Amino acid sequence: MKPHSALFSAKNSASSLANWACSHPFYDLVFQWLIKRIRGLSEPAVFLIIGPTGVGKSTLIAHLIAHLAAEMVDEMRSNPCRLHKVYAEAVYVPSRGLDWEGLFKSLLRDGKEILIDRKVAKVWPPEAPNLRGLAEAVDNMLFQHAPAACIIDEGGSFLEVSSDESLNRTLEYLKSIGNRSRTHIAIFGDYRLAKMLHFNGQLNRRCHPIRFSNYTEGFKDRFELAVREFESRLKRHNVSVCMDGTADMLFSETCGCVGLLKRWIENAWLEVAGTDRVLDKSVLESESFPAGSLAKWRAEIEAGHKVMELFINGRKS
């Protein structure tokens, strides 16, 4: 399968690298897998898109949203209440856990709901909303507007709970959102999400996971092409650049993650901007990621791969 030419950064950014693209060996595979299931499955499902930090999950979300908007334009014209998606980021608040109130409000805002602070279950209007009222409002919004998917980023925040019992309640609630509203739930997150695959048998029946992998050793040549593509584009922007002899270093110290590669090159570009310096190996070395961060990413990827392999082998047996 020919890799999709994907945007490195999907979010709004002042960066000149924000919309630069590059082929990714796993991007198109994950994208096509997700589209087929969102548009093809009749029973509400929970999709888990699991990958390491900086692999390109936020970019994938942006492409997915744009694709659904284009694909469903006729449906939304014939039914103005229809939405192609609702989107929110899950946020973990230290000492409080998952910010359910913030998540509900973000989904309601993205669904163009009004008077969100008045979405309550009891007497209207109280001084503050409550979670039951917000949850009911989200269910009603999803049911009425029938989005193709409810997309939640930073899904690892769901796993930051105090106990297995709390995690079980979270998983049951995610499943119930889809059941009540007849909506697919697509959760994007790091390898912490893999814990969901082993925890809840009922969820697994409706759960469709896929690994969004970083560039591995077998794809180092593709990664080097990505580095060269960055170099060519920088030259077209009149940046003095020479990345000879940097591919191995960049591969090793980004763990093969193109999002981290983009961030590294962006920092190096900012360092030489407005000067007569050449963006070369020495500049890249000066802007390399802290050793602690690199060690954390490597440990995350190694542990994540093991968990995913256990799940895959368990399904085969």
Q: How does pLDDT run across 110-136, given as a tens digit for each residue?
A: 998 887 776 665 544 445 457 788 888
Quote the tokens at residue 285: 């070395």
Residue 314: predicted pLDDT: 60
The tokens for 79 are: 């039914």
Q: DSSP H helical segments within the chain, as ranges?
A: 27-40, 57-71, 73-78, 100-110, 131-145, 164-181, 196-199, 201-206, 220-236, 247-254, 258-272, 281-286, 291-316
Q: Is 18 exposed, middle or buried (0-12, 13-18, 19+ CB in 10 A)?
A: middle
The answer to whether 44 touches 176, Cβ cutoff 8 Å, is: no
Cα 80 from chain centre? 28
Tokens of 189: 């997150």
Q: Are strands 92-93 and 97-98 parallel, antiparallel or unpaired?
A: antiparallel
| pLDDT tens digits for range 44-72 | 988 999 999 888 888 889 889 999 999 99
d(C-alpha 215, C-alpha 212), whole Å: 10
Up-side HSE of residue 50: CA atoms within 13 Å toward CB?
26
Q: Are strands 86-89 and 150-153 parallel, antiparallel or unpaired?
A: parallel
The residue type found at 53 is: T
Which residues, listed in sequence order, are joined to residue 5 by a DSSP beta bridge?
23
Element (H, E) at 264: helix 258-272
Q: d(Cα 149, Cα 68) in Å, to the nearest integer?
A: 9
Q: What is the mean pLDDT of residues 196-217?
A: 75
pLDDT of res. 18 = 64
Supply the pLDDT for residue 119: 67
Higher pLDDT, 3 or 293: 293
Strand blocks (E) in 126-222: 150-153, 185-189, 207-211
Select the CATH number that applies to the domain covering 26-211 from these four: 3.30.365.10, 3.40.50.300, 2.80.10.50, 3.30.70.100: 3.40.50.300
- The mean pLDDT of 295-303, rounded to a whole number, is 90
**DSSP reduced 3-state for 260:** helix
Least confident of 180-184, 221-225, 307-311: 307-311
Q: Is the peptide bond before 147 cis (omega within 30 degrees of 0)?
A: no
- Average pLDDT of every residue of the chain: 83
Q: Is 137 helix (H, G, I), strand (E, B) or coil?
A: helix
- Sorted by sequence, the CB contacts under 8 Å of residue 294 that are 6+ apart come out as 253, 255
Q: Which two tokens stand for residue 221?
A: 């040549």
Contact, 231 vs 241, CB < 8 A? yes
**Token reading at 252:** 């090793």
pLDDT at 10 over 60: no
For the chain, what are the domain ranges?
26-211, 217-293
pLDDT above 70: residue 189: yes
**Alpha carbon distance 201, 214 (integer Å):** 28
Give pLDDT, residue 85: 96
